[in-house]
């Protein structure tokens, strides 16, 4: 099962995912899939540097399934983290609830 790296953006608190090339993005579908131990180790080393440089905090590797351009975390907790609360409490019209 592939993994991706997730963290929180230090300044904003946003949930972010490590994309190919090392950027941290909010869209889970853009995360870099880490298919083996070496890829994971490389990504984690790079992520640790991002923690030291005050970009992100709380880096975690999480299991995902991938296909058809979508990346879906396996654990419910991680799916909620990726897609936002499942209840519509935001009072902003532009935000949509999780399916």
Partner 1 sequence: MYRYDEFDASFVSDRVAQFSDQVRRRLAGDLTEEEFRPLRLMNGLYLQLHAYMLRVAVPYGTLSGKQMRKLARIARVYDRGFGHFTTRQNIQYNWPKLADVPAILEELAEVEMHAIQTSGNCIRNVTADHFAGAAADEATDPRPYAEILRQWSSLHPEFSYLPRKFKIAVTGAARDRAAIRVHDIGLEVRRNEKGEIGFRVLVGGGQGRTPMIAREVRDFLPEEDLIAYTDAILRVYNLYGRRDNKYKARIKILVHETGIDVLKQDIEAEFERIRDGVLKLPQQEVDRIEAYFAMPDLAPRAERSSLLEAAKADDMGLKRFAEQNLHPHKVPGHVCLTISLKPIGGIPGDASADQMDVVADLAERYGHDEIRVSHEQNLVLPHVALDDVPAIYAVLKENGLGTPNAGLVTDIIACPGLDYCALANARSIPVAERLSERFGDAERQAVIGPLSIKISGCINACGHHHVGHIGILGVDRKGEEFYQITLGGSPDETASIGEIVGRGFSTEEIVDAVETVVDTYLGQRADPGETFLAFYRRVGQAPFKEALYGA
Provide the token pair at 31: 């995360």
Kindly tell me which of 33 and 74 has the beta carbon lying closer to partner 1.
Answer: 74
- Considering only residues 22 to 51 of the shown chain, the ones binding partner 1 according to CB under 8 A are 51
Query: Considering only residues 45, 69, 89, 99, which one is a binding residue for partner 1 as defined by CB under 8 A?
Result: 89
DSSP collapsed to 3 states, 12-34 = CCCEEEECCCCCEECCHHHCCCE
Vertex 95: Cα angle to 91 and 99 (nearest 5): 115
Site membership for partner 1, residue 1 (CB under 8 A): no
Element (H, E) at 48: helix 37-52
Q: Considering only residues 1, 54, 68, 99, which one is a binding residue for partner 1 as defined by CB under 8 A?
A: 54
- Record the tokens describing residue 42, joined without a space: 């490389």
For partner 1, which residue of 33, 49, 58, 63 counts as binding (CB under 8 A)? 58
Residues lying near partner 1 in the complex (CB under 8 A) are found at 8, 10-15, 51-54, 57-58, 75-77, 80-81, 84-87, 89-92, 95
């Amino acid at each position: 099962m592939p993994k991706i790296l997730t963290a929180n953006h230090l300044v904003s608190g946003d949930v972010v995912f490590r994309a190919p090339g090392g950027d941290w993005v909010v869209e889970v579908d853009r995360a870099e899939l880490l298919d083996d131990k070496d890829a994971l180790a490389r990504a984690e080393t790079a992520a640790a540097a991002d923690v030291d440089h005050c970009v992100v905090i709380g880096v975690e590797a999480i299991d995902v399934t991938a296909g058809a351009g979508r990346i879906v975390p396996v654990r419910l907790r991680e799916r909620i983290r990726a897609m936002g609360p499942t209840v519509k409490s935001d009072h902003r019209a532009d935000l949509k609830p999780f399916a």
